[in-house]
């Protein structure tokens, strides 16, 4: 059976109790912690930055899966790396210098993730083949948790799997217990789940069931 990694997004967490929330995810069997960084420019929402990531780093041992939804992400790569990010993912639509940003992440010794808005085709990443470790397929418009899964994402995930057979495919947005199996079947290795975990009765059960794919 394929190993499925669960990376709960803390966007839906209680920010007034972030330490307890992250420790609860760790105790509930999460594999990574997905940190949604938004700047109000690339997406119409503002969340948190390096100080919050640095404090999350202090309270869990799980890998921090940092999703930068910010313009010109290269400006902040080094600071997020120093804050404790393990995987730094950015949107190719957010910069004219994709290669330079990739190189900056590598220089900091971190894993490189590239992400695409729902309307950007997977083929947009072909020029960077072999240069990155993780492909983050957005299955909602980036900016908010609790949205509905865009069904057309399933074809996009399969296409990503076909064009990039050797890297991790992560799917982010609207994934829950009812659609997770088909997301994994389409080719996902890593599932981001915010509301499906934080709004569940029992986080451990929810994560366990998502892992079953
Ligand atoms: C949206 C974020 C997602 C979101 C996932 O821009 O990138 O990570 O928080 O939340 P759910 O799982 O509730 O859609
Ligand atoms: Zn995200």
What count of Cα atoms within 13 Å lies in the side-chain half-sphere of residue 196? 26
Q: Is 184 left (phi over 0), alpha (psi -120 to 50) or beta?
A: alpha
Distance 171 CA to ligand 1 centre (A): 10
Residue 189 designated active-site: no
Question: Is the shortest distance between the CB of 143 and ligand 1 below 6 Å?
Answer: yes
Fold (CATH) for 5-211: TIM Barrel (3.20.20)
Separation of alpha carbons 160 and 188, rounded Å: 9
DSSP codes joined into one string, 163-190: H-TTSEEEEESS--TTTHHHHHHHT-SE
How many CB atoms are located within 10 Å of the residue 57 CB? 19
Question: Is the shortest distance between the CB of 26 and ligand 1 below 6 Å?
Answer: no
Residue 36 designated active-site: yes
From the CA of 142, give the closest atom in ligand 1: 6
What pLDDT score does 213 carry?
74
Distance 156 CA to ligand 2 centre (A): 17
3-class SS of residue 40: coil
Distance 192 CA to ligand 2 centre (A): 7
Question: Is the shortest distance between the CB of 160 and ligand 1 below 6 Å?
Answer: no
3-class SS of residue 88: strand
Alpha-carbon distance values, 51 to 41, 56, 70, 116 (Å): 20, 9, 16, 26
- Among 33, 78, 52, smallest CA distance to 203 is for 33
Among the bound ligands, the one closest to the CA of 118: 1
Could you state, in order of their start, the residue ranges of all structural domains in the chain?
5-211
Q: What is the pLDDT along the chain (213 residues), one digit of tens a residue?
A: 789 999 999 999 999 999 999 999 999 999 999 999 999 999 999 999 999 999 999 999 999 999 999 999 999 999 999 999 999 999 999 999 999 999 999 999 999 999 999 999 999 999 999 999 999 999 999 999 999 999 999 999 999 999 999 999 999 999 999 999 999 999 999 999 999 999 999 999 999 999 997
């Amino acid at each position: 059976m394929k190993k499925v990694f669960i990376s709960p997004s803390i966007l839906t967490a209680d920010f007034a109790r972030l330490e307890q929330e992250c420790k609860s995810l760790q105790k509930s069997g999460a594999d990574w912690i997905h940190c949604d960084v938004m700047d109000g420019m690339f997406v119409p929402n503002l969340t948190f930055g390096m100080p919050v990531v640095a404090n999350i780093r202090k309270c869990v041992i799980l890998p921090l899966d940092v999703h930068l939804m910010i313009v010109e992400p290269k400006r902040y790569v080094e600071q997020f790396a120093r804050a404790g990010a393990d995987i730094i993912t950015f949107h190719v639509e957010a910069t004219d210098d994709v290669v330079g940003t990739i190189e900056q992440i590598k220089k900091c010794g971190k894993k490189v993730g590239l992400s695409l808005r729902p309307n950007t085709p997977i083929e947009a990443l072909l020029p960077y083949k072999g240069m990155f470790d993780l492909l983050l397929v957005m299955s909602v418009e980036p900016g908010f948790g609790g949205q509905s899964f865009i069904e057309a994402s399933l074809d996009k995930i399969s296409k990503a799997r076909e064009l990039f057979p050797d890297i991790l495919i992560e799917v982010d947005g609207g994934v829950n217990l009812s659609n997770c199996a088909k997301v994994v079947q389409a080719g996902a290795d890593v599932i981001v789940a915010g509301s499906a975990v934080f709004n569940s009765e029992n986080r451990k059960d929810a994560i366990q069931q998502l892992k079953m794919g």
